[in-house]
Homo-oligomer: A and B are copies of this chain.
Amino acid sequence: MGITDRKEREKQEMRKLIIDAAMEMFIEVGYDKTSIRSIADKIEYSPATIYLYYKDKDELLYEVQGEAFDRLHKHFLKEVTAADPLERLEQLLAAYMTFGLKHPDLYDLMFILRSPMKAVEEEEAWPNCDKEYNFLIDIVKGCIDKLRFTDPMIAATTIWSLGHGIISLYIRGRYKVSKLPDEQIKEMMWQTAKAHIELIKR
């Protein structure tokens, strides 16, 4: 049945059209200004049409999150180039942080916002992030003998949590409490990350 195939293809193309528009708006005008209505406007369809392809906004955002993770992964592949696992770990943390600083709205969607996670609220998994999580775990395993940890999972969790803590506190303006000017705050963040890396080396 050729027609059924084409219809299925067209359906997928429409879904792609929607999330691409959403992604573009996310980067250009930010999360707050990205509404179902504004996405519909951009692709020149009515808001109701979007609901023929996505059950609700959460589901749509989950798919956009997936795209954002693809971008993060490309960023990792570009930035994490060393052969030595310990060096790779340093590069990974740095790449994680630069991504967050460069695309705060995508970072929000990936690691802070509640909405996109409602799609996996029932499950004990989160496939969107699998690749990047394994990327981290593999690197840590590769140099676990050079780290002051016995369990790779704990080691990975400290690094991720610290990186996320630094970026999210900055993005949400909480380092203001230090009363430092923005540029000194950024410097402190990098020093903190560096200090942690030095700390975990055996």
Q: Which residues of B contact A126 (CB under 8 A)?
A: 173-174, 176-177
Q: Kindly state whether residue A27 has any CB partner on chain B within 8 Å.
A: no
Assembly CA distance A149 to B164 (angstroms)? 21
Q: Kindly state whether residue A71 has any CB partner on chain B within 8 Å.
A: no
Q: Kindly state whether residue A55 has any CB partner on chain B within 8 Å.
A: no
Assembly CA distance A103 to B196 (angstroms)? 28
Number of A residues whose C-beta is below 8 Å from B? Answer: 49
Residues 147-182 of chain A, each 1 if its beta carbon lies under 8 Å from chain B, else 0: 011010111011011111110110011101111111
Q: Which residues of B contact A29 (CB under 8 A)?
A: none
Q: Kindly state whether residue A43 has any CB partner on chain B within 8 Å.
A: no
Chain B residue nearest in CB terms to A182:
B124
Q: Which of B113, B155, B161, B195 contacts A165 (CB 8 A)?
A: B161
A residues whose Cβ falls under 8 Å from a Cβ of B? 111-114, 117, 120-121, 123-126, 129-130, 133, 148-149, 151, 153-155, 157-158, 160-166, 168-169, 172-174, 176-182, 188-189, 191-192, 195-196, 199-200
